Homo-oligomer: A and B are copies of this chain.
Amino acid sequence: MEDYSLIGKRIPRVDGRVKVTGEAKYAADYDMPGMLWCKMVRSPHPHARILNIDTSRAEKLPGVKAVCTGKDFGGWKWGWMPKTRDEPPLAVGKVRYLAEAVAAVAAVDEDTAEEAADLVKVEYEELPGVFDPEEAMKEGAPQIHDYVDNNLSWDFHMDFGDVEKGFAEADLVNEDRFETGRVITGFLEPPAAVALWDSSGITLWAAKQSPYFVYRHLAACFKMPLNKVRIIQPFIGGGFGGTKNDSQPGDFCAVLFSKMTGRPVKFVYNMQEVLMTCRRRHNMIIHNKMGMKKDGTITAMQSKVIADGGGYTAIGPLTMYLTGCMSTLPYKLPNFKHDAYRIFTNNPISAAMRGHGITHTRFAAEIQMEMMAKELGIDPIEVRLKNAITAPHETVNKVTVNSCGLKEGLETLAKDPRWEKRSKGQPGEGPVSHGVGISGTSYLGGAMQRGHQSCGAVVRLCEDGTIDYLTGATDCGQGSDTVLVQIIAEELGLRMEDVDIKRVDTAVTPCDAGSYGSRVTVMAGEAAQKAAQDVKGQLAGVAAEKWEADPQDIVFKNQQVYVKGSPEKAMPFRKLAQIACYSGSGAVIVGKGYSQYGIGLNDFDKGLGDSGTSYSFTSHLTEVDVDIETGFVKCTDMVIAHDCGKPLNPINVEAQNQGGAIQGMGQAMYEEFAMDHGKTLNPNLADYKMPLSPDVPNIEVVDILTEDASGPYGAKEASEGSIVSAPPSIVSAIHDATGIWFKEQPVTPEKIAMALRKKKE
């Protein structure tokens, strides 16, 4: 990467200063003259028929400007696919999970709105609920939706090779049941927006990860053309999939209220609403069956997944697809069968979260593989190296891998002195037992989806040689704005400060499929590079004409433009910009580009083919100290050997690997919604425990460099791999320290202490 000025360099964040100083404005910070506050009226029941809604008392409260209920949306529902559009902005007819929104109020201030929400009187007829997906699948269980039988929200099946033949060839075939837990994204900024309806259409200043989703939803819900829907992105306080990657009841109600009142309308969910109602990761029960030869070779795998879908479908079909389509990586797997069932329950809605779908089944497969290797007396690294794919590779379901640094990553960990500190089957007996675990996983970059797939970029030259850069890709905290600016500046030979990235605004920034599935660097980056090259090409034409040179020979570097090999033919970039803008009629130089690597999920129903434009590989070592008395685990060290192809900004790659690993640690060790008949018992950040800074281990990130042509400058995914690799590596380390395999997340001190006590007995 030595040829580059900015790519591959540890560049500080372009949004660092405004975030640190507090100047960055988030959706909740917006305040407008005459603005109303919107509050939701929520159901106290997880499953109930709505008999009547009496809004009269609320409407009479001074300061209340409007009240709406489900019927005000004319039966419109949304969902990821046409046939799964089952979620109304406000419940109609019945509620399907506790705290589902049934009405909303708009009032002159937040207090009045809260008071008014309490005055809306809803009569319910309680219905029997079902909260366990295995119960919900049974004949005779309460039916949550009419449009499917047996509460089967979605099912997805894969069958490649011949698993029975594979199992027959194996020396050891194990079956285990895993469960992945109920966790949520944990952003610090709750869903919030300000809506304005005027004759220019709908404008929404909204905390969204992928503004083009809510853009389409609002157009559909309110029957508006897309060019009359404008989503303006304030700074975003974390995304991680699910909630902010989708629309919220508040979005629709605020827009409707603005239409009704002619005033701007704001909503901000509180943390209780977030933790009780927002989209969370699916809890999945995974029955995994694996066949292995004595030498460790995996011969077949069969998985049955039962996912708790909650009350509506949301993006669930894609989650189910992802549980299977990536199971054939990162280990050679000639025979694979997969059956995934998403089941409606009266729990809150499950949807995407960082490591979407893949983290569940990879956890099961990874732990099971190591359990079996142990049974066969094979070292954890050996079994992985034995089975690890090498590039180029095509999986049995036609996933094509063009670069793979898994072996190099595992070998890096094997050489790490910390790997030698493991107990090797002889766990300590206390008071503190040390353990080291490992995992090797894969994730996709440039995730493919249904619908409009690509990312666009527009780059404008200002006549003083500075650059305006317009992208529809949202930086929801991951640092992508910085990387995208690096790409533009690198291509044009400019400094970071010469390129100004504009806030996303669907009315003016080019369409972008969204900031999810580790797409931004890979796909918005491809678009950025093309748009910058378009500007460069136009300027090179001007320079080439002046110098009578070949445009191909014009070099842009260090704010200079020159003819390769002719040092006398050089001028500052700024000067060339002025010549282009001021000569003759004066050019208005605009560059454009869009990503073309990704394609739609053509074989979505079969789990066949690629689900991303490229694949990252993560080898993850975790070191823990386990208190044998209390079961308390202190995770002390992690080493993440991550193949993201080429790290365009190593600080960012490091930070994303660390962030993913810590979030993965949260779900492996700490986080869990305590549920009672659909009620979230711990809807606050004191009782729903996420890792805090004292919990964070020392995390070393090692970049494993590989060559992949699909991303800009060879970049692949760097933001989700480690949330997949962390949990199995932690569980492996806890096993190393205790001799016990835990198959249900989170592995809490209680569970460890209980298991150790049982083991002793």
User: A residues within 8 Å of B by Cβ?
Assistant: 17-18, 21, 23, 31, 33, 198-201, 219, 225-228, 451-456, 458, 460, 462-464, 466-468, 470, 497-500, 502, 505, 507-513, 527, 581-582, 584-588, 590, 592, 594-600
> What are the residues of chain B within 8 A of A581 when measuring CB–CB?
452, 511
Q: Is there an interface contact between A510 and B462, defined as CB atoms closer than 8 Å?
A: no
A599 & B585 in contact (Cβ 8 Å cutoff) = yes
Contact A587 B594, beta carbon cutoff 8 Å: yes
Measured in the bound complex, the distance between the Cα atoms of B452 and A500 in whole Å is: 21
Is there contact, CB below 8 Å, between B452 and A219?
no
Which of B17, B31, B454, B594 sits near A33, CB closer than 8 Å? B31
Asked if A454 contacts B226 (CB within 8 A), the reply is no
Complex: chain B residue closest to A597, CB-CB: B585
Is A452 a contact partner of B456 (Cβ separation < 8 A)?
no
CA distance A585 to B592 in the complex (A): 16
The reply to whether B464 and A498 contact each other, CB–CB distance below 8 Å, is no
Cross-chain contact A454 with B585 (CB below 8 angstroms): yes
A187 to chain B, nearest CB (A): 23
Q: List the B side residues contacting A199 at CB < 8 Å.
A: 17-18, 21, 23
CB distance from A525 to the nearest CB of B (A): 14
**A23-B198, A464-B219, A507-B502 in contact; A453/B585 too (CB < 8 A)?**
yes
A461 to chain B: closest residue by CB = B511
Do residues B598 and A462 form an inter-chain contact, with CB atoms below 8 A? no
Stoichiometry, as copies per complex, reads 2
Taking a contact as CB atoms under 8 Å apart, the answer to whether B226 and A466 are in contact is yes
Enumerate chain B residues within 8 angstroms of A460, measured Cβ to Cβ: 510-511
Known interface pairs A17-B199, A594-B587, A599-B585; A508-B505 also in contact (CB < 8 Å): yes
- Does B454 contact A586, Cβ atoms closer than 8 Å? yes
A585: B residues at CB distance < 8 A? 453-454, 594-600
- 19 residue pairs A–B, Cβ–Cβ below 8 Å: A17-B199, A18-B198, A18-B199, A225-B462, A225-B498, A225-B500, A227-B466, A227-B468, A228-B500, A451-B586, A453-B582, A454-B586, A454-B587, A454-B588, A462-B511, A468-B507, A500-B507, A585-B599, A592-B592
What is the minimal beta-carbon distance from A223 to any residue of chain B, in angstroms?
A: 11
10 nearest A-B residue pairs (beta carbon): A456-B588, A588-B594, A226-B462, A227-B466, A227-B500, A453-B586, A225-B466, A508-B508, A454-B586, A585-B596
For residue A508, give the distance in angstroms from its CB to the closest CB of chain B.
4
Residues of B within 8 A of A219 (CB): 464
A456 to B585, CA, bound (A): 11
Determine if B498 and A588 form an interchain contact, defined as CB atoms under 8 angstroms apart.
Answer: no
Residues of B within 8 A of A505 (CB): 508
Q: How far is the CA of A17 from the CA of B451 in the complex (A)?
A: 35
A363 to B467 Cα, complex, angstroms: 46
Measured CB to CB, the closest approach of chain B to A458, in angstroms, equals 6
CB neighbours (8 Å) of A456 from chain B are 588, 590
Interface centre among A470, A511, A588 (most CB of B within 10 A): A588
**A455 / chain B contacts, CB cutoff of 8 Å:** 588
C-alpha spacing A507/B501, complex, angstroms: 10
User: Max chain B CB contacts within 10 Å: which of A225, A498, A499, A594?
Assistant: A225
| Among A219, A226, A587: residue with most chain B CB under 10 A | A226
Hey, which chain B residues are within 8 Å of A500, CB to CB? 200-201, 225, 227-228, 507
Residues A600 and B588 in contact, CB atoms below 8 Å apart? no
The distance from the CB of A57 to the nearest CB of chain B, in whole angstroms, is 32
Q: Chain B's nearest CB lies how many Å from the CB of A146?
A: 30
How many Å lie between the Cα of A198 and that of B468 in the bound state? 17
Inter-chain contacts of A470 with B (CB < 8 A) = 508
Q: Are A588 and B510 in contact (CB under 8 A)?
A: yes
Given A453-B585, A502-B508, A600-B586, A462 contacting B527 (CB threshold 8 A): no
Q: Is the CB of B588 within 8 A of A590?
A: no
A352→B570 CA distance, assembly (Å)? 40
Specify which chain B residues have a CB less than 8 angstroms from the CB of A499 in the assembled complex: 227
B508 contacts A468, C-beta separation under 8 Å: yes
Q: What's the nearest-Cβ distance from chain B to residue A259, in Å?
A: 14
In addition to A451-B586, A460-B510, A511-B581, 11 A-B residue pairs with Cβ atoms within 8 Å of each other are A31-B33, A219-B464, A225-B462, A225-B500, A226-B464, A456-B588, A458-B590, A508-B508, A513-B586, A527-B588, A585-B596
Question: Which of chain B's residues have a CB closer than 8 A to the CB of A588?
Answer: 454-456, 510-512, 527, 594
List of B residues within 8 angstroms of A468 by Cβ: 227, 507-508
Q: Please, how many angstroms separate the alpha-carbon atoms of A597 and B584 in the complex?
A: 9
